[in-house]
Amino acid sequence: MNPTLTADAPASASPIAAFPNAAPRHGIFAALWLPARADGQLEREALAAHLGFLRRHGVHGILALGSTGEFPQFDLEERKRVLECVAELAHPLPVITNVSDIRPRAVAELGRFARQLGLPAIAIMPPGFFPSRQDDLLAHFLHAADAAQLPTFLYNFPELTGTRIDLSTVQAFSERGPMAGIKQSGREFAYHRDLVALGTQRNFVVFSGADTRLPEVFGLGAAGCIGGLVNIAPDLMVHLFNVCRLGRTGDIAPAFERLREIGDIIDRLTFPLNVAAGMEARGLNPGSPKAVVSESSRHLYREIVQELGSRFRQWGMT
The tens digit of pLDDT for each residue in 182-195 reads: 999 999 999 999 99
Examine the pLDDT at 23 and tell me if it is beyond 60.
Answer: yes
Percent of the chain with pLDDT over 70: 93
* pLDDT tens column, 243-252: 999 999 999 9
d(CA 195, CA 206): 7
* pLDDT tens column, 196-246: 999 999 999 999 999 999 999 999 999 999 999 999 999 999 999 999 999
Domain ranges of the chain: 22-241
Examine the pLDDT at 150 and tell me if it is beyond 80.
Answer: yes
User: 209-213: long-range contacts at Cβ-Cβ below 8 A with a sequence spacing of 24 or more?
Assistant: 209/31, 209/157, 209/183, 209/184, 209/185, 210/184, 210/185, 211/237, 211/259, 211/263, 212/259, 212/260, 212/262, 212/263, 213/189
pLDDT at 22: 83
Q: What is the pTM of this model?
A: 0.93
Task: Kindly list the distances between the CA atom of residue 106 and the CA atoms of 74, 80, 145, 152, 179, in Å, as whole numbers in the listed order.
Answer: 12, 10, 13, 16, 20
Say whether 117 sits in a helix, a strand or coil. coil
Select from 211, 235, 199, 245 the least CA-distant residue to 317.
235
Task: Kindly list the distances between the CA atom of residue 203 and the CA atoms of 45, 68, 132, in Å, as whole numbers in the listed order.
Answer: 39, 27, 27
CB 304 within 8 A of CB 278: yes
Mean pLDDT of the chain, nearest integer? 94
Compute the average pLDDT of residues 48-71: 98
Which of these ranges, 7-21, 45-59, 295-309, has the smallest mean pLDDT?
7-21
* pLDDT tens column, 95-123: 999 999 999 999 999 999 999 999 999 99
Examine the pLDDT at 2 and tell me if it is beyond 50.
Answer: no
* CATH class as words, domain 22-241: alpha beta
Compute the average pLDDT of residues 139-167: 98
